[in-house]
C-alpha cells in the first residue's frame, strides 16, 4: 500500500471520524457512519491505501483495499 491506512471510528462525542493511521487529528468528522465511510473511501482511493471501518465498540467491521493488493482474492 502506498499511503496511510484510513480508519472510520466513533468518537467519544458520538460523531464519526476518518483518521489516517498514526495521525493526531481526524481528516473528516461527521454525524453518520455512512458519510464517514463514503469520505474514507475517497481518501483511501486517492492514497491507494486501505479503508478500515470499525463498529461503535471499536471492533473491526470491514476492510476495503484501494491500491496494489498483495493478496488479491482468487477467482
| pLDDT value at 61 more than 80 | yes
Average pLDDT, rounded, for the chain: 91
Predicted pLDDT at 1: 47
User: Has residue 40 been placed in a domain?
Assistant: yes
User: Has residue 72 been placed in a domain?
Assistant: no
User: Has residue 71 been placed in a domain?
Assistant: no
User: Has residue 23 been placed in a domain?
Assistant: yes
User: Has residue 68 been placed in a domain?
Assistant: no
In the block, cell 495521525 appears at 23
Domain of 23, in residue numbers: 6-63
CB 36 within 8 A of CB 55: no
pTM for the predicted model, two decimal places: 0.85
CB 6 within 8 A of CB 19: yes
Report how many domains make up the chain.
1
Amino acid at each position: 500500500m502506498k499511503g496511510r491506512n484510513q480508519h472510520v471510528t466513533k468518537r467519544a462525542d458520538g460523531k464519526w471520524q476518518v483518521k489516517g493511521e498514526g495521525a493526531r487529528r481526524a481528516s473528516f468528522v461527521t454525524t453518520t457512519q455512512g458519510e464517514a465511510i463514503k469520505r474514507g473511501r475517497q481518501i483511501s482511493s486517492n492514497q491507494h491505501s486501505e479503508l478500515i471501518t470499525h463498529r461503535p465498540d471499536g471492533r473491526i467491521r470491514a476492510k476495503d483495499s484501494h491500491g496494489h493488493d498483495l493478496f488479491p482474492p482468487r477467482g
